[in-house]
């Protein structure tokens, strides 16, 4: 029996992997075709060539597609393989001969763990590198992306008694515009304020240079004292990366880089960081969708149903849709702070892990 089951395990893993790779390739082709049809006008209106689109943009998009589609491809492949075994009564024969549902789960869980670990590494290091090229391309050629390289209306804490505000920050030139640097006394009374037309980072000296500066000092016998200066060099605790805040930042960062980025946001006193926190925790939680969905496939598809594999496929798509729906419901709650970001990122996975356990126990009986 042990030898037979070892052969069975290898058969299951081989068949699911074959379906997984085939479905992933099909989904990539389908997604690229649909995306190209939708956005081809944006590419060509802004001067992109077809060769460049398919040699630069879409190759850098493929890792993101793989990350998103891997759980679905793995789930559908496992459902189809299991449904076929069920229709051929192979699962019923094994369970009748004394093989438990938990023993049948072994190849599913083993494969799920391997793919989950692979996607975690892939999502944490490979996808961000590719996303940098992809998003840079979108900034250049997508109409609705123009201007998004500027980070607007920032209010950052430089020191315990210093606050920097800027109308917007240009990531390409490391230049902030309409800048105000305010210093306060311990009594929360403003003591000095510098207003500048722009402030530019000098990478060689690692200082900020302010242009067309109005300096105002408050207090003392004369009240407010105002002076004009063409240039002011100042050293701040804030670096250009601290001002480079957009809703898509974490997409471009590896796990260690994202952790350092979030630490910098906290140090700068930034508010409303729910979205980058949810995206950061999703780098850890999303890969578990592969393990949870493949664990769901056995109890869902092991039962013979009228209609055969077509019905099983419909059930698989319905479950995947509910999984995605729960994820999309939870994320905005984490963005707004209604629930902790970690809970928002983990919620759909915890819910469906519980569903998988319940179905597995029911299948055992």
pLDDT in tens, 195-210: 999 999 999 999 999 9
Burial class of 206 by CB neighbour count within 10 A (0 to 12, 13 to 18, 19+): exposed
- The pLDDT of residue 246 is 66
Model confidence at 32, in pLDDT bands (50, 70, 90)?
A: very high
- Return the closest-CA partner of residue 264 out of 282, 239, 236: 239
- The pLDDT of residue 149 is 47
- The pLDDT of residue 147 is 42
CB 59 within 8 A of CB 121: no
pLDDT in tens, 211-258: 999 999 987 667 789 999 999 999 998 888 778 766 667 888 899 988
Q: How distant, in Å, are the alpha carbons of 155, 159, 245 from that of 218?
A: 21, 19, 32
The helix (run of H) or strand (run of E) holding residue 106 is helix 101-121
- Return the closest-CA partner of residue 74 out of 100, 110, 104, 103: 110
- Give the neighbor-by-neighbor strand order of the sheet with 190-202: 150-159, 162-170, 175-184, 190-202, 207-217, 225-234
**61-87 mean pLDDT:** 95
- The pLDDT of residue 143 is 54
**165-175 mean pLDDT:** 83
Higher local confidence (pLDDT), 31 or 138: 31
Neighbours of 114 (CB within 10 A): 14
pLDDT in tens, 253-302: 899 988 887 886 776 566 678 888 999 999 999 999 999 999 999 999 98
- The pLDDT of residue 144 is 53
Does position 318 have pLDDT exceeding 50, yes or no?
yes
CB 79 within 8 A of CB 297: yes
**Rg of the chain's alpha carbons, rounded to an integer?**
27
Terminal C-alpha separation, the chain: 22
Please list, residue by residue across 155-183, b when 16 or more beta carbons sit within 10 angstroms of its beta carbon and e when fewer do: ebbbeeebbbebebbbbeebbbbebbbbb
DSSP string, 18-33: HHHHHHHHHHHHHHHH
- The pLDDT of residue 148 is 47
Number of H helices, E strands in the chain: 12, 6
- The pLDDT of residue 69 is 95
Does position 357 have pLDDT exceeding 90, yes or no?
yes
């Amino acid at each position: 029996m042990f030898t037979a089951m070892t052969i069975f395990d290898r058969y299951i893993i081989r068949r699911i992997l074959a379906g997984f790779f085939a479905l992933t390739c099909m989904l990539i082709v389908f997604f690229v075709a649909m995306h190209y049809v939708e956005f081809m006008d944006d590419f060509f209106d802004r001067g992109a060539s077809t060769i460049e689109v398919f040699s630069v943009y879409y190759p850098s998009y493929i890792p993101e597609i793989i990350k998103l589609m891997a759980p679905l491809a793995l789930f559908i492949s496992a459902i189809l393989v299991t449904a076929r075994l069920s229709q051929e009564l192979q699962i019923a024969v094994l369970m009748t001969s004394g093989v438990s549902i938990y023993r049948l789960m072994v190849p599913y869980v083993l494969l799920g763990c391997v793919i989950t670990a692979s996607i975690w590494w892939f999502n944490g290091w490979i996808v961000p590198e590719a996303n940098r090229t992809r998003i840079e391309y979108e900034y250049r050629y997508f109409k609705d992306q123009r201007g998004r390289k500027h980070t607007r209306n920032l209010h950052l804490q430089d020191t315990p008694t210093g606050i920097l505000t800027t109308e917007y920050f240009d990531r390409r030139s490391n230049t902030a515009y309409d800048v105000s640097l305010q210093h306060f006394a311990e009594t929360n009374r403003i003591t000095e304020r510098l207003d500048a037309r722009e402030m530019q980072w000098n990478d060689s000296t690692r200082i900020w240079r302010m242009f067309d500066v109005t300096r105002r000092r408050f207090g003392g016998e004369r009240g407010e004292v105002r002076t004009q200066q063409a240039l002011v060099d100042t050293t701040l605790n804030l670096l250009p990366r601290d001002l480079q805040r957009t809703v898509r930042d974490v997409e471009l960062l590896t796990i260690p880089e994202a952790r350092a980025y979030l630490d910098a946001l906290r140090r700068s006193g930034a508010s409303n960081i729910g979205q980058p926190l949810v995206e950061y925790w999703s780098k850890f939680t999303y890969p578990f969708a592969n393990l949870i969905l493949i664990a769901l496939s056995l109890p869902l598809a092991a039962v013979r149903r009228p209609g055969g594999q077509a019905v099983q496929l419909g059930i698989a798509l319905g479950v995947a849709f509910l999984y995605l729906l729960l994820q999309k419901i939870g994320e905005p709650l984490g963005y707004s702070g209604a629930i902790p970001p970690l809970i928002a990122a983990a919620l759909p996975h915890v819910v469906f892990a519980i569903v998988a356990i319940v179905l597995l126990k029911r299948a055992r009986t």
